[in-house]
A and B are shown apart, each in its own frame.
Chain A
Amino acid sequence: MPSTPRSAYLHVPFCRHRCGYCNFSVVADRDDLIDRFLNAIEIEITQVLAQTPCQQLDTLFIGGGTPTHLNPDQLERLLKTLRQHLPLAENAEWSVEANPEDITSDKLHQLRDAGINRISLGVQSFDDQKLAVLQRSHSGPLAQQVIEATANVIPNVSIDLIFAAPNEDLQRWQSDLQTAVRLPIKHLSTYALTFEKGTQFWNQRQRGTLLPVDESAEIEMYDQSRQMLGEAGFDHYEISNFAQPDHQCRHNMAYWLGNPWYAFGPGAAAFIDHHRNVNHRSTFTYLKRIEQGRSPIDESESITAQQAAREAAAFGARLLQGIDLADIERATGWPIIQELQPTLDQLLEQALIQISNTSICLTERGIHFADTVASELLGETH
């Protein structure tokens, strides 16, 4: 595995509103902090690169929060900072997350002119009722218009769709998928709504005021996505990701393959020099620490060869093409194949994976149990 990261992630924690299901590191309605944040980011990047110099990046991903929530001047400053400190390779993938309601023609051109060549839109649904349940502030028709408009400027468009929202049935989900495949998108991430501790939805479910859809319906929706998107020419390449040929998200692939990456901003998690460093989740603490000249890192964990190997196997197994354990063994120097043998036998027996030579991949049944498989592959390393 390359020891110098060739990927970087930047977390922009600002949002107009916190959605009921969101447990990300986000602050809503605190635009007054944006300038401090832009200062802090520059300091953090400079400090991290001083320790681990950056040669060239193959992928750069601006996520959030809502990066496009920044006004044009703020956005300009951010993009400039990144360009200045993080050299991109030729053909690098530079993505930004955006909310449909923030997209204007000016903003699109601003992003494109700065060098951004991939845009990931937080659409979640095209159904107004479902969008209301999810507390999203755009409408279905607007999302469609925005996708069209975006594709005209930045053709590599990805969208996120959530399924199994409260009260959602298969029919409504099918209609979301139908709309999606008719639109000019190259990539689609889709996942079932999860109820995370510390969110409104979690509390509402605890109180019984919000009912998750039942298990069979959720499985049906997932399988439906695989079928409909497959028919429309999207390759199901990772548990919750679909792409047209040659449009897989290269940035995310780096995560799943166990490659190192930089990460900047509140709550951002980096994998540098065999360490997983997670910044403090609170935007306020993050800012305070940087402003006081302290490290924003809240947790740092050294990853042993064994751990790196097991993580690469566990997260690589989320890729539908599977993963070659021999590659992991070469990259980490850890005898993972031998170590995992009993686990592999068990997973094989449970019909969760297929094995050919040293490669493993999920079976049709295993696709529904990716977490169980990951858990077994991770084992009890500490």
Chain B
Amino acid sequence: MTKHLRNFCIIAHIDHGKSTLADRLLEETGTVSIREMKEQLLDDLELERQRGITIKARAVVMKFRRGKDEYELNLIDTPGHVDFQYEVSRALACCEGVLLLVDAFQGVEAQTVANAYAAMEHDLHIIPVINKIDLTHARPDEVAEEMMNSLGTDPDDCVRVSAKTGQGVGKLVDAIIEHIPEPPRDTEAVLQAMVFDSNYDDYRGAITYVRVMQGTVRKGQKIRFLRADTTHDVVELGQFTPHRTACDELSAGQVGYLICNIKSLGDVHIGDTISIPGDGAAEPLAGYSRPKRMVYCGLFPSDGQNFSDLREALERLAVNDPSFEFEPETSDALGFGFRCGFLGLLHMEIVQQRLENESDIDLVQTAPNVTYEIVNKRGETVEIHKPQDVPDPGDVEEFRQPIVRCNIIVPTDFIGAVMKLCQERRGIQKSQEYLAAQRAMLTYDIPLAEVVYDLHDKIKSCTRGYGTLDYEIIGYEAADLARLDFLVNGKRVDALSIVCNRADADRRGRAVAKKLKSEIDRHMFEVAVQAAIGSRVIARETVPAMRKNVTAKCYGGDITRKRKLLQKQKEGKKRMKAIGNVEISQKAFMAVLSEDDS
């Protein structure tokens, strides 16, 4: 009897049915019975379920027999979003093949292309899969053609399935066995395993997800993380079936988990290589890098009292998510809080949502910004994580910002609108391809700051929701940037400062000043709101002084009511932030986030 291994993952755009297909594969291979099947078994985080997307990669083994042959199929689930590109790349490095899943109605999307390219870079065998063929408006033949045009796959190789009904899933299993290569099985070589994911168990500590590239790892053995240079005992190892199932060893080609009494996820680096202690260790695997935070924002508790609660909440999150980082930050306007770094916008949103779900702290968030680089007059390059740290214009030799390459797939009707938008956002067009008669892919290099600001929303709105965007960081470029400050009655509000292109400063300064004006309650005196670069004021709005209260009656029954009302107003005021003698609501701090074009 021979045992065959196949390691693969599914890459797909959001909503194209990746999780549903994974569930059907588990059923088809008898790994999980229909009765046991929870909807979308692989997405185990509540939040992922809520958002309907997969954030953390997981791995599941499917074991079954066909005649004399025993099969072990390892499905490695990958996060779909660009923010997690590095995690995707590590997961791909653990596979020999991928299922490239495309919706039979929606067709190829930007994310599909990005992920397919990543799979090609890893030299993986690609099985094109067209899903949702049961839909009334399915157009599998056209989509197969689109896939050929954009991804170079053979329409004849496309496996057509309906993950919903299970149609075609049996044939897909055949295709996996037939086309995806068997991994190398050098079980006697020195241990070399790739860490492709981790999660945290409150009782067991860090759970490290591995693919053994060569050799064998056994229970009780000493292992070493080569990049982190730490040594541990393997307390338990096993596979996901899909629940954790312990076994005695994992050998070359197999996928599973290790538990080594590691107390913090921060000690497990995705992409690290596991080998043996001492001089005889295997070579570290290529492609390792530390997670790079590209987006930062400030998080402050509304009530200063909650500072330590917030710190605890952030620590809890960081234990589960090593790619998120935070450090204490002080703002004149907002008091004590934290500057938090994220892989990207979605990552930021997810972390904030978790904070809200898991702790009861009212938060003020400052506008997100990207990581800038500044070369100062002394020739030093400094990384800038918050606008307040931008030095005075006189000390800036060069101001650099991260540039991303964006692939945007749009119905051809909307090409004009998207091109106009990208040009406005300082995009440089790299290419334009037609994927099908009705769909095209535009490639632009655009400053990440523009993407972070609102590009994604704008693309969605100018393509009636049909346009999709994907991007990857390609490097830093010098630009004509400046720190734009906002002043309230002459006092700079540090938490409101933003970095923007000098040419946009007037427009954004005016818009934000206007928005701030509408968010600041009238005071007993006039309040001036100004936007300024350095000492140059570029916009001014005035909140006129309050002229009266409501002249309402006030009789017996009103006394209790009125007192409560007044005290409630006081309470509200207490949560406001004082800039000099001007009280500013927390909502006002979001003014810089939302810009009404004017």
CB distance from B526 to the nearest CB of A (A): 13
**B-binding segment of A69-77, A123-131, A187-195, A282-290:** A187-195
Chain A residues whose C-beta falls within 8 Å of the C-beta of B546 in the assembled complex: 369, 372
The reply to whether B549 and A371 form a contact with Cβ atoms under 8 Å apart is yes
CB distance from B560 to the nearest CB of A (A): 5
CB under 8 Å from chain A, chain B span 528-555 = 546-555
**Dominant secondary structure at the A interface:** mixed
B416 at interface, CB cutoff 8 A: no
Per-residue A-contact encoding for B562-581, CB less than 8 Å = 1, 0 else: 11001101100000000000
A261 at interface, CB cutoff 8 A: yes
Give the nearest-CB partner of B556 in chain A: A255
A15 at interface, CB cutoff 8 A: no
Known contacts A315-B559, A369-B549, A350 near B524 by CB under 8 Å: yes
The reply to whether A269 and B559 form a contact with Cβ atoms under 8 Å apart is yes
Chain B residues whose C-beta falls within 8 Å of the C-beta of A218 in the assembled complex: 548, 551
The docked-state distance in angstroms from the alpha carbon of A192 to that of B553 is 8
Chain A residues whose C-beta falls within 8 Å of the C-beta of B556 in the assembled complex: 9, 252, 255, 261, 263, 269, 271
Chain B residues whose C-beta falls within 8 Å of the C-beta of A350 in the assembled complex: 524
Q: Contact size class for B?
A: 20 to 34
Give the nearest-CB partner of B571 in chain A: A380
The reply to whether B547 and A276 form a contact with Cβ atoms under 8 Å apart is no
The reply to whether A370 and B551 form a contact with Cβ atoms under 8 Å apart is yes
The docked-state distance in angstroms from the alpha carbon of A75 to that of B328 is 70
The reply to whether A378 and B560 form a contact with Cβ atoms under 8 Å apart is no
The reply to whether A222 and B551 form a contact with Cβ atoms under 8 Å apart is yes
The reply to whether A240 and B559 form a contact with Cβ atoms under 8 Å apart is no
The docked-state distance in angstroms from the alpha carbon of A215 to that of B553 is 18
The reply to whether A191 and B549 form a contact with Cβ atoms under 8 Å apart is no
Partner of B559, one of A219, A276, A369: A276
Chain B residues whose C-beta falls within 8 Å of the C-beta of A380 in the assembled complex: 567, 570
> Number of A residues whose C-beta is below 8 Å from B?
40
Give the nearest-CB partner of A377 in chain B: B566
The reply to whether B547 and A368 form a contact with Cβ atoms under 8 Å apart is yes
The docked-state distance in angstroms from the alpha carbon of A318 to that of B558 is 13
The reply to whether B560 and A269 form a contact with Cβ atoms under 8 Å apart is yes
The reply to whether B547 and A215 form a contact with Cβ atoms under 8 Å apart is yes
Give the nearest-CB partner of A269 in chain B: B557
The reply to whether B557 and A278 form a contact with Cβ atoms under 8 Å apart is yes
The reply to whether B553 and A371 form a contact with Cβ atoms under 8 Å apart is no
Chain B residues whose C-beta falls within 8 Å of the C-beta of A315 in the assembled complex: 554, 559
The docked-state distance in angstroms from the alpha carbon of A94 to that of B536 is 68
Chain B residues whose C-beta falls within 8 Å of the C-beta of A314 in the assembled complex: 563
The reply to whether B557 and A263 form a contact with Cβ atoms under 8 Å apart is yes
The reply to whether A374 and B551 form a contact with Cβ atoms under 8 Å apart is no
CB distance from B580 to the nearest CB of A (A): 15
Q: How many inter-chain contacts with C-beta < 8 Å in the A-B complex?
A: 85
Chain B residues whose C-beta falls within 8 Å of the C-beta of A67 in the assembled complex: none
A176 at interface, CB cutoff 8 A: no
Partner of B548, one of A255, A318, A368: A368
Chain B residues whose C-beta falls within 8 Å of the C-beta of A239 in the assembled complex: 551, 554
Chain A residues whose C-beta falls within 8 Å of the C-beta of B570 in the assembled complex: 375, 380
The reply to whether B560 and A276 form a contact with Cβ atoms under 8 Å apart is yes
The docked-state distance in angstroms from the alpha carbon of A268 to that of B557 is 6
The reply to whether B549 and A255 form a contact with Cβ atoms under 8 Å apart is no
Partner of A371, one of B550, B555, B561: B550
The reply to whether B566 and A194 form a contact with Cβ atoms under 8 Å apart is no
A246 at interface, CB cutoff 8 A: no
CB distance from A356 to the nearest CB of B (A): 23
The reply to whether B557 and A378 form a contact with Cβ atoms under 8 Å apart is no
The reply to whether B555 and A252 form a contact with Cβ atoms under 8 Å apart is yes
CB under 8 Å from chain B, chain A span 203-257 = 215-216, 218-219, 222, 239-240, 252, 255-256
Partner of B550, one of A189, A192, A311, A318: A192
The reply to whether A192 and B551 form a contact with Cβ atoms under 8 Å apart is yes
The reply to whether A372 and B549 form a contact with Cβ atoms under 8 Å apart is yes
Per-residue B-contact encoding for A1-30, CB less than 8 Å = 1, 0 else: 000000001000000000000000000000
Partner of A240, one of B524, B551, B569: B551
Give the nearest-CB partner of B549 in chain A: A371
Chain B residues whose C-beta falls within 8 Å of the C-beta of A9 in the assembled complex: 556-557
The reply to whether B567 and A378 form a contact with Cβ atoms under 8 Å apart is yes
The reply to whether A375 and B555 form a contact with Cβ atoms under 8 Å apart is no
A301 at interface, CB cutoff 8 A: yes
The reply to whether A369 and B551 form a contact with Cβ atoms under 8 Å apart is no
The docked-state distance in angstroms from the alpha carbon of A278 to that of B554 is 16
A322 at interface, CB cutoff 8 A: no
A267 at interface, CB cutoff 8 A: yes
Chain B residues whose C-beta falls within 8 Å of the C-beta of A369 in the assembled complex: 524, 546, 548-549
Per-residue B-contact encoding for A327-346, CB less than 8 Å = 1, 0 else: 00000000000000000000
Q: A191-B551, A269-B561 are in contact. List 12 more A-B contacts (CB 8 A).
A: A191-B552, A192-B552, A218-B548, A240-B552, A261-B556, A268-B557, A276-B560, A311-B563, A369-B548, A370-B551, A375-B570, A382-B567
Q: Which residues of B contact A (CB under 8 A)?
A: 524, 546-557, 559-563, 566-567, 569-570
Q: Which residues of A contact B (CB under 8 A)?
A: 9, 189, 191-192, 194, 215-216, 218-219, 222, 239-240, 252, 255-256, 261, 263, 267-269, 271, 276, 278, 299, 301, 311, 314-315, 318, 350, 368-372, 374-375, 378, 380, 382
Q: What are 8 A-B contacts defined by CB distance under 8 Å?
A: A194-B550, A194-B552, A216-B547, A255-B559, A368-B551, A369-B524, A380-B570, A382-B567
9 closest A-B pairs by beta carbon, nearest first, are: A371-B549, A269-B557, A368-B548, A375-B566, A191-B553, A255-B556, A240-B553, A192-B551, A276-B560
